[in-house]
Amino acid sequence: MAGSTGRWRLQSRERSARRRTGPGGDVTRPSPAADAGAKAPAAGRTVLLVCSSGGHLAQLLALEPWWSRHARLWVTFRTPDAESLLVDERTAWAHHPTTRSVPNLLRNTALALRTMRRERPGLVITTGAGVALPFFIIAKLTKVPTAYIEVYDRIDLPTLTARLCRPFTTLFLAQWEEQRRFYPEAVVVGNLL
């Protein structure tokens, strides 16, 4: 069983590497944040990549050509997919479920306070969902830049997390032009997946 999981992880990384690189190994898809004119965090500053597991995590993983150049810490849920995909990454495990769970909101707020104090990040970036809110609020209070990437599968309606995080967001990125109907200030960067 462990062998098949490891083989899947390797094949998955090889497939995503082929999607991201050209024949000579050059990166063919620059970071959406770089395209949008976002500044990289100051040298030596950690990037916090905060997201739910599953599709939200997959979308942030697609930014590997960008985040691999920075010191980073992932904040996500401890699920089998997250554990296997982030096996070689620094990770802080958040509490879930976050939907309608006040105790987990409080636990994740405490986690955000501890993590932000310890890491002193230069940037907090997310694709959602609920776990991002306490990190964005604390980032805003401590003047740490934030970048929110609206998920690619919500075109007709804005996500609840985007609506909640929007007041605390420094740079708002959309994956579809249609999403600008809800976020006129958003920079469209195209699909991550």
Closest to 148 measured CA to CA, from 130, 131, 132:
132
17-56 confidence digits (pLDDT tens): 333 333 333 222 334 444 444 555 656 689 999 999 999 9
Domain at 31-188: CATH code: 3.40.50.2000
**DSSP codes, 111-128:** HHHHHHHHH--SEEEEEE
pLDDT of 167 above 70: yes
Percentage of the chain beyond pLDDT 70 is 77
pLDDT on residue 39: 55
| Contact assessment for residue 86 and residue 51, using Cβ atoms and an 8 Å cutoff | no
70-99 confidence digits (pLDDT tens): 999 999 999 999 999 999 999 999 999 887
- CA angle 10/124/28 to nearest 5° reads 45
Domain spans, the chain:
1-28, 31-188
